[in-house]
Amino acid sequence: MKDKPKIYNQDVLHHYQNPYNKGKLDDPDFSVTEENPNCGDRITLQLKLKGDEISKVKFDGHGCVLSIGAASILTQMVRGLSVGEASELTLDDLVDNMGNPPKMRRNCVSLSLDALKDALSEW
């Protein structure tokens, strides 16, 4: 019998079960919430800048394995980047760091990235 394709790998599951940078910042420079209207899952991403560098980042919210896993992975990717570098991150960059989950679930992956893009567009 053929194995079903996996929606997420063990690394993503680990991030879902033990998310990095989950919580709230005391004094964020930016705080943006994105919601997936299809399921109601919601992620809030908060950033603190030092100059033009992202010095602190946290996320909070609820969602599926892919949306929470993506948020955890994304926060690790962006900390220490400049605003310009973080603005250039793409969905493909995030997907590549998640073991390439199926295309039909990309809206789950993009929730936190959309919040990041919205936050940085206010800078």
Q: Which residues of the shown chain bind ligand FES in the complex (CB under 6 A)?
A: 36, 39, 41, 63-64, 66-67, 108, 111
Report, in Å, the least distance between residue 108 CB and ligand FES: 3
Instruction: Name every residue whose Cβ is closer than 8 Å to that of residue 18 and which is 6 or more positions away in sequence.
Output: none
Instruction: Name every residue whose Cβ is closer than 8 Å to that of residue 59 and which is 6 or more positions away in sequence.
Output: 19, 21, 22, 43, 44, 45, 46, 71, 72, 74, 75, 112, 115
Closer residue to ligand FES in complex, CB, 46/112: 112
Closer residue to ligand FES in complex, CB, 54/71: 71
Closer residue to ligand FES in complex, CB, 12/78: 12
